[in-house]
């Protein structure tokens, strides 16, 4: 216990120094660059261990969680600590019991909300000090990506109880002037018209919204070429085709990685990360060798292990520990439900060079490790920040009498018009000859029924419906994407795009 006290004291002192650095963009950049990647990883693990010990002392739920896994203390190798999830931890303990001191009812606490497949909301609490640290980090990263010149920030993320929109607004106020429009196309366009082309703009939102914004501006003959536009998206994956389309009109286009149940802004695309993903996308041989035969193109981010210590398990599921000592509701080895791979920057850059793609010295880089994100490992697709679950879709199918003869189904996120995503539903009929069906009407009805079940989908549908409506195909038994399906032990309800 005495060693724990001194270790926690040392790390709190380090956090104070980091807070000092976060107050100034140049100090922040020097802080990131002065520590080697290997040292940052070492410190991250030590901080994660300290966070586990602190949570065991202060958080009733975590003490009980360890006890139920046969541990009377966290004094075991860190990898031996049990992994948290929504199912085994969040769903089994009250919000109070998951907080330091056994209560979240104190001043300056913010409550965010996210929804599961049944529409039952999960609530997440964050104290003032941890929010300040998140916001300052995001503001400094914006300066790293865009420079320190003032831009008008247009926050087009969903507002309300959802974490992303509110936290983005508060964070960007530390970077520049902010207008939060939410996902309201006309308000964004009105803002551009009101303040004119003499200001630069940094527009933040979900990928399909940015795409729809550009399409609308072009259709209206808006003088988009006169404007300096930058964008950052989050909440879901985006394709390189979409990035290249957006960059016809925007000067920069980045993506960030976060989650309501952990933190927003856990990882970010840097200029080097963008270049790496572009090379992986374009060079099939590079992708196959680097990713060991995997044909998918992941999102590519850099992260700071000193604040977000990351691991992957045997199923390649991403496990994250929040190391900040001021986290009100600690998450220790939390399985976020995303499939991922981790690379040290040193290893990744060396491997890229060996495979004929040396990264040129013109890219600004940070000595931080990489996380490659493939998407949800818990069988969902995400569009406009709304998770769509197979269970919801199945229930919606059962409400349609015309589809009573279905044998199986699958959903996937497809793209159209140079990157616009939408949910695509394929249904396998019980015999080789499906009947003629009113597919457009059925797809509309399924979208409506999913909205009744899933609160996130319902909210996103009211804000920006275009990318959320299902498209529907029906195939005969063992045809199309269902060919060979009867040979599988388990059914697969999420399919890779383009099948």
The arithmetic mean of pLDDT across residues 351-366, rounded, is 81
How much of the chain, in percent, has pLDDT values that exceed 70? 90
- Dihedral (CA of 208, 213, 214, 216) sign: positive
For the chain, which residues make up each domain, given as ranges?
A: 386-487
The arithmetic mean of pLDDT across residues 103-111, rounded, is 82
Entry pTM: 0.80
For residue 121, count other CB atoms closer than 10 A to its CB.
14
Q: How far apart are CA 2 and CA 353, in angstroms?
A: 47
pLDDT higher than threshold 60 for residue 497: no
* 386-487 classified as CATH 3.30.300: yes
Lowest model confidence (mean pLDDT) among 102-111, 160-169, 180-189, 447-456 = 160-169
pLDDT (tens digit, 9 = 90+) per residue, 141-159?
999 999 878 899 999 987 7
Q: Note the pLDDT of residue 118.
A: 42
Q: How far apart are CA 245 and CA 247, in angstroms?
A: 5
Helices then strands, counting H and E runs in the chain, come out as 15, 18
Structure tokens at 384: 């406009």
Q: Note the pLDDT of residue 32.
A: 83
The arithmetic mean of pLDDT across residues 325-340, rounded, is 92
- Output 378 or 66, whichever has higher pLDDT: 66
In whole angstroms, how far apart are CA 161 and each of 111, 122, 123, 369?
7, 11, 9, 32
């Amino acid at each position: 216990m005495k060693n724990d006290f001194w270790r926690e004291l040392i790390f709190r002192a380090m956090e104070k120094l980091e807070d000092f650095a976060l107050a100034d963009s140049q100090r922040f950049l020097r802080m990131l660059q002065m520590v080697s990647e290997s040292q940052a990883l070492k410190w991250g693990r030590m901080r994660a261990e300290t966070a586990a010990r602190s949570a065991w002392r202060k958080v009733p739920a975590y003490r009980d969680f360890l006890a139920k896994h046969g541990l009377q203390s966290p004094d075991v190798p860190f990898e031996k600590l049990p992994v948290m999830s929504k199912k085994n931890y969040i769903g089994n303990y009250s919000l109070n019991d998951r907080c330091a001191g056994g209560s979240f009812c104190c001043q300056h606490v913010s409550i965010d909300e996210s929804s599961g497949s049944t529409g039952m909301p999960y609530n997440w609490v964050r104290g003032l000090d941890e929010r300040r640290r998140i916001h300052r980090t995001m503001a400094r990263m914006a300066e790293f990506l865009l420079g320190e010149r003032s831009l008008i920030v247009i926050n087009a993320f969903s507002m309300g109880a959802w974490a992303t929109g509110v936290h983005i607004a508060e964070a960007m106020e530390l970077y520049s002037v902010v207008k939060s429009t939410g996902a309201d196309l006309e308000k964004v366009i009105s803002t551009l018209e009101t303040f004119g082309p003499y200001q630069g703009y940094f527009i933040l939102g979900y990928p399909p919204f940015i795409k729809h914004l550009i399409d609308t501006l072009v259709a209206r003959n808006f003088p988009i070429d006169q404007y300096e536009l930058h964008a950052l998206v989050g909440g879901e994956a985006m394709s390189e085709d979409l990035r290249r389309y957006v960059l016809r009109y925007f000067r920069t286009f980045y993506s960030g990685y976060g989650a309501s149940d952990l933190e927003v802004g856990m990882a970010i695309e840097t200029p080097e990360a963008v270049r790496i993903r572009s090379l992986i996308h374009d060079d099939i041989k590079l992708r196959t060798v680097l990713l060991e035969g995997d044909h998918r193109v992941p999102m590519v981010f850099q992260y700071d292990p000193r604040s977000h210590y990351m691991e992957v398990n045997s199923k390649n599921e991403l496990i994250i520990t929040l190391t900040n000592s001021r986290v009100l509701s600690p998450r220790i080895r939390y399985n976020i439900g995303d499939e991922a791979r981790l690379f040290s920057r040193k290893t990744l850059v060396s491997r890229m060079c060996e495979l004929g793609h040396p990264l040129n010295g013109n890219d600004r880089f940070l000595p931080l490790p990489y996380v490659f994100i493939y998407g949800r490992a818990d069988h969902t697709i995400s569009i406009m920040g709304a998770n769509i679950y197979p269970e919801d879709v199945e229930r919606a199918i059962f409400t349609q009498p015309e589809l009573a003869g279905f044998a199986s189904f699958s959903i996937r996120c497809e793209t159209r018009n140079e990157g616009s995503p939408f949910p695509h539903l394929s249904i396998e009929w019980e015999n080789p000859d499906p009947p003629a069906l009113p597919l457009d009407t059925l797809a509309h009805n399924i979208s409506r029924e999913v909205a009744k079940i899933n609160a996130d989908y319902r909210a996103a549908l009211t804000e920006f419906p275009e990318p959320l409506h299902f498209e529907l195909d029906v195939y005969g038994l063992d045809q199309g994407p269902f060919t060979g399906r009867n040979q599988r032990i388990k059914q697969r309800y999420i399919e890779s795009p383009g099948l």
